């Protein structure tokens, strides 16, 4: 049902933000088809604005707007019929003195289908003109009405895109505020935690003789809990700061140098055998992002390994588009019911690592973000009790690409 409340109708027109926009092929295609189907030299998609009739598509005329007071479409949007037809405007009292009829345009025949949105407001028309009197047959009328529905669908799609963009901008703003909040809170919490840890050590050193075994256990638990919370906060900061490490921040560096540096940090007791790529390679990539990725993945391979002889193998390859990395370990593996969630924030696979510490579920989520920022993807295969293999890529070029986001690939999960 068409509503003719002009104020609300105009608000509906404004909501599509189409008036005054440039021509678009999707609309021009429709007017060309309408002209062909109806056999008329002119076909238009119009939107009735405050004081003008804006032509979103104009096939057969050189102008893209006209005064609203002389517009045929002003009458068409007020009809309750599916289509408004004027066979010969020269014989119609409403139009016979209209400049569009008497002037160069010679708009003698008119047929317009109101473009009605889902709120029931007529925004404008899909219309055709001819320079001589004529009629449309049933097929032409039904086709013109069908085309008008497609125009409305295009309108609705545009408004949905506008709403989605506004929602996205709002979410980005809120996410930015959340990151800022998390950063401030995390930073402010680290100093008190450091004080707690230091105070605990002082209490143990100064009052050890006055405390029984249970009292010392309480202090050890307090220190252990403070360390865990400090690591958790550091993980949160690293997770949010990972957005700042992107593909375009490149430098050339030696893969072996990077991995040996990480090995010295992680494998300080040298109980784990870490096999590096046989050949050395110099690559151009975001070194800090790659450093964090390997710190997390190699760190997990060391911590979650119950073998007498832990072994980790790192491989490297490349193709025209990507650097290809692989980390293979003989650790505890990942349960089948958890492998699809390991890259989710706060998802925890194992209850404790080999040192009895509980993970916080932040590291692998951060890895996923970093890999995506490098234009790559990451996947994992694993067999519980035997080990896991993580594969990830980093794009070699800064050329933008459509990235749908890294996905966990379990198609070749070992049985």
Contact 312, 303 (CB under 8 A): no
Query: Does 404 have pLDDT greater than 80?
Result: no
For residue 299, which of 310, 285, 286, 308 has the smallest C-alpha distance?
310
Is the pLDDT higher at 363 or at 57?
Answer: 57
More confident site: 311 or 233: 311
Which pLDDT tens digit goes with each residue over 197-231? 888 888 888 888 888 888 888 887 787 777 666 66
E strands within 191-259?
Answer: 251-254
What average pLDDT score do residues 338-364 get? 71
pLDDT grade for 329, boundaries at 50, 70 and 90: very high
Same domain, 148 and 263: no
User: What is the phi-psi region of residue 356: left when phi exceeds 0, alpha when psi lies from -120 to 50, beta otherwise?
Assistant: left
Query: Coil, strand, or helix at residue 349?
Result: coil
254 & 350 share domain: yes
Report, as an integer, the average pLDDT of 163-180.
79
Identify the burial level of 13 via C-beta atoms within 10 angstroms of its C-beta, where 0-12 means exposed, 13-18 middle and 19 or more buried.
buried
Is 266 inside any structural domain? yes
Query: 278: how many CB neighbours lie within 10 A of its CB?
Result: 7
Domain boundary among 138, 166, 194: 166
19: domain CATH number is 3.30.450.40
Answer whether residue 58 is part of any domain.
yes
pLDDT for 122-163, tens place per residue? Answer: 999 999 999 999 999 999 999 999 999 999 999 999 999 998
Terminal Cα-to-Cα distance of the chain (whole angstroms): 61
* Amino acid 80: pLDDT: 85
Give me the residues paired with residue 322 across strands.
395
User: Do residue 157 and residue 45 come from a single domain?
Assistant: yes
Are 128 and 275 contained in the same domain?
no
The total domain count for the chain is 2
Structural contact between residues 42 and 128, judged by C-beta atoms closer than 8 angstroms: yes
Domain identity same for 398 and 251: yes
Please indicate, yes or no, if residue 208 is contained in any of the structural domains.
no
**Taking residues 94-111, what's their average pLDDT?**
93
Does the structure show a pLDDT above 50 at 415?
Answer: no
pLDDT value, residue 16: 93
Residues 114 and 363: their CA atoms lie apart, in Å, by 57
Residue that is last in its domain, among 166, 185, 200: 166
pLDDT in tens, 240-284: 665 666 667 788 999 888 898 888 878 777 788 999 988 888 999
Domain that holds residue 252: 245-415
Q: Which of 108, 138, 166 is the last residue of a domain?
A: 166
Q: What is the pTM of this model?
A: 0.51
Compute φ and ψ for 238, nearest 5 degrees. Answer: -65, -40
Closest-CA residue to 58 (of 23, 33, 89): 23
Provide mean pLDDT across the span 23-44.
Answer: 96
In a domain, 402, yes or no: yes
Residue (of 327, 245, 235, 237) closest to 288 by Cα position: 245
Task: Report how far residue 72's alpha carbon sits from residue 89's, in angstroms, rounded to the nearest whole number.
Answer: 10
pLDDT, tens digit, 9 for 90 and up, residues 44-80: 999 999 999 999 999 999 989 999 999 999 999 998 8
Same-domain status, 259 and 143: no
């Amino acid at each position: 049902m068409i509503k003719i409340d002009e104020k609300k109708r105009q608000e509906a027109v404004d909501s599509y933000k189409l008036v005054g926009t440039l021509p678009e092929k999707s609309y021009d295609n429709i007017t060309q088809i309408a002209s062909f189907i109806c056999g008329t030299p002119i076909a238009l998609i119009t939107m009735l604005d405050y004081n003008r009739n804006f032509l979103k598509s104009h096939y057969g005329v050189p102008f893209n707007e006209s005064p609203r007071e002389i517009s045929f479409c002003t009458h068409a949007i007020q009809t309750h019929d599916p289509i408004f037809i004027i066979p010969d405007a020269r014989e119609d009292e409403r139009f016979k003195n209209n400049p569009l009829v008497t002037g160069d345009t010679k708009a003698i025949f008119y047929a317009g289908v109101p473009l009605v949105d889902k709120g029931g407001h007529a925004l404008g028309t899909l219309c055709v003109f001819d320079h001589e009197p004529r009629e449309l047959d049933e097929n032409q009328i039904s086709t013109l009405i069908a085309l008008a529905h497609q125009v409305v669908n295009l309108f609705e799609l545009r408004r949905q895109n506008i709403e989605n963009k506004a929602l996205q901008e709002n979410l980005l703003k809120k996410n930015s505020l959340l990151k800022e909040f998390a950063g401030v809170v995390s930073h402010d919490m680290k100093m008190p935690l450091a004080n707690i840890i230091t105070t605990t050590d002082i209490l143990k050193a100064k009052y050890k003789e006055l405390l029984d075994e249970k009292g010392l256990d309480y202090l050890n638990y307090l220190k252990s809990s403070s360390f865990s919370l400090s690591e958790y906060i550091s993980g949160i900061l690293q997770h949010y700061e990972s957005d700042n490490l992107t593909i375009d921040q490149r430098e050339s560096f030696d893969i072996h140098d990077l991995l040996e540096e990480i090995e010295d940090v992680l494998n300080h007791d040298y109980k784990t055998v870490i096999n590096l790529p046989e050949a050395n390679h110099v690559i151009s990539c975001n070194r800090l992002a790659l450093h964090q990725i390997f710190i997390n993945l190699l760190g997990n391979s060391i911590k979650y390994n119950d073998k007498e002889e832990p072994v980790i193998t790192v491989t490297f390859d490349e193709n025209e588009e990507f650097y290809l990395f692989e980390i293979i370990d003989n650790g505890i593996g990942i349960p089948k019911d958890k492998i699809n969630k390991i890259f989710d924030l706060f998802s925890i696979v194992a209850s404790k690592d080999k040192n009895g510490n509980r993970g916080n579920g932040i590291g692998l989520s951060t890895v996923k973000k970093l890999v995506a920022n490098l234009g790559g993807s990451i996947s994992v295969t694993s067999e519980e009790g035997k080990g896991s293999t993580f594969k990830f890529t980093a794009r070699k070029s800064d050329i933008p690409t459509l990235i749908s986001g890294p996905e966990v690939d379990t198609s070749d999960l070992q049985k």
